[in-house]
Amino acid sequence: MSDASLAGALGAPGRSKGKSPVSFFEFWPGWLFYAPVVLFWALKSLRYGSATLPSLANPRIDAGGICGESKNAILGLAGPVARQSIAPFAGFTTAGHHGGDDLAMARAAMTGAGLHFPVVAKPDMSCNGVGVRVVHDEAELAAYLAAFPRATALQLQALVTYEGEAGIFYIRRPREAQGRITSVTLKYPPTVTGDGHSRVRELIAADARLNAVSNLLLPRLGAKADHVPAAGESVKLVFVGNHCRGSTFKDGMDIVTPALTARIDEIMHDMPEVYFSRIDLRYDTLEALREGRDFKIIEFNGSGSEATNIWDPEMTIGRAYQTQFFHYGESFRIGADIRRQSGLKPVGLLKLAGLWWHQKRLMAAYPQND
pLDDT at 10 over 60: no
What is the structure's pLDDT at 6? 42
Whether residue 167 sits in one domain with residue 132 = no
What is the structure's pLDDT at 17? 54
Whether residue 321 sits in one domain with residue 358 = yes
Q: Residue 280: what are its φ and ψ, rounded to 5°?
A: -95, 130
Burial of 202 (0-12, 13-18, 19+ CB in 10 A): middle
What is the structure's pLDDT at 240? 72
How many domains, in total, are found in the chain? 3
Dihedral angle at the C-alpha atoms of 91, 96, 101, 104, nearest 10 degrees? Answer: -10
Short-list 93, 128, 129, 133, CA closest to 109: 93
Whether residue 173 sits in one domain with residue 39 = yes
Whether residue 78 sits in one domain with residue 196 = no
What is the structure's pLDDT at 11? 54
Distance of CA 155 to the CA centre of its chain: 14
The whole-angstrom separation of Cα 121 and Cα 156 is 5
Calculate what percentage of the chain has a pLDDT beyond 70. 95
Whether residue 100 sits in one domain with residue 83 = no
Residue 367 is given by DSSP the state P
CATH number for the domain that contains residue 128: 3.30.1490.20
Does 14 reside within a domain? no
The whole-angstrom separation of Cα 148 and Cα 140 is 12
Domain hosting 229: range is: 191-237
Does 22 reside within a domain? no
Whether residue 368 sits in one domain with residue 262 = yes
Tell me what the mean pLDDT of segment 189-203 comes to. 95
What is the structure's pLDDT at 241? 67
Pick the last residue of a domain from 179, 203, 237: 237
pLDDT, one tens digit per residue, over 124-160 is 999 988 999 999 999 999 999 999 999 999 999 999 9
pLDDT, one tens digit per residue, over 88-111 is 999 999 998 877 799 999 999 999
Distances (CA, A) of 202 to 62, 103, 181, 198: 45, 40, 40, 6
Whether residue 329 sits in one domain with residue 276 = yes
Does 142 reside within a domain? yes
Does 24 reside within a domain? no
Pick the last residue of a domain from 206, 237, 268: 237
Does 7 reside within a domain? no
H or E segment to which residue 281 belongs: strand 276-283
Does 3 reside within a domain? no
Whether residue 177 sits in one domain with residue 54 = yes
The whole-angstrom separation of Cα 284 and Cα 82 is 18
pLDDT at 19 over 80: no
Whether residue 172 sits in one domain with residue 41 = yes
Short-list 307, 309, 281, 21, CA closest to 163: 281
The whole-angstrom separation of Cα 314 and Cα 304 is 24
* Single-letter code of the amino acid located at 116: H
Short-list 272, 258, 271, 203, CA closest to 233: 203
The whole-angstrom separation of Cα 167 and Cα 247 is 13
What does pLDDT average to over the chain?
93
Whether residue 182 sits in one domain with residue 276 = yes
pLDDT, one tens digit per residue, over 335-366 is 999 999 999 999 999 999 999 999 999 999 99
What is the structure's pLDDT at 16? 53
241, 189 in Cβ contact below 8 A? Answer: yes
pLDDT, one tens digit per residue, over 286-310 is 999 999 999 999 999 999 999 999 9
Does 16 reside within a domain? no
Does 10 reside within a domain? no
Whether residue 166 sits in one domain with residue 154 = no
pLDDT, one tens digit per residue, over 213-254 is 899 899 988 899 999 999 999 999 887 767 777 889 999 999
The whole-angstrom separation of Cα 49 and Cα 336 is 10
The whole-angstrom separation of Cα 202 and Cα 216 is 15
The whole-angstrom separation of Cα 152 and Cα 359 is 11
Pick the last residue of a domain from 137, 159, 181: 159
pLDDT band at 368 (very low <50, low <70, confident <90, very high): confident
CATH number for the domain that contains residue 270: 3.30.470.20
Short-list 154, 370, 89, 67, CA closest to 241: 370
Whether residue 147 sits in one domain with residue 224 = no
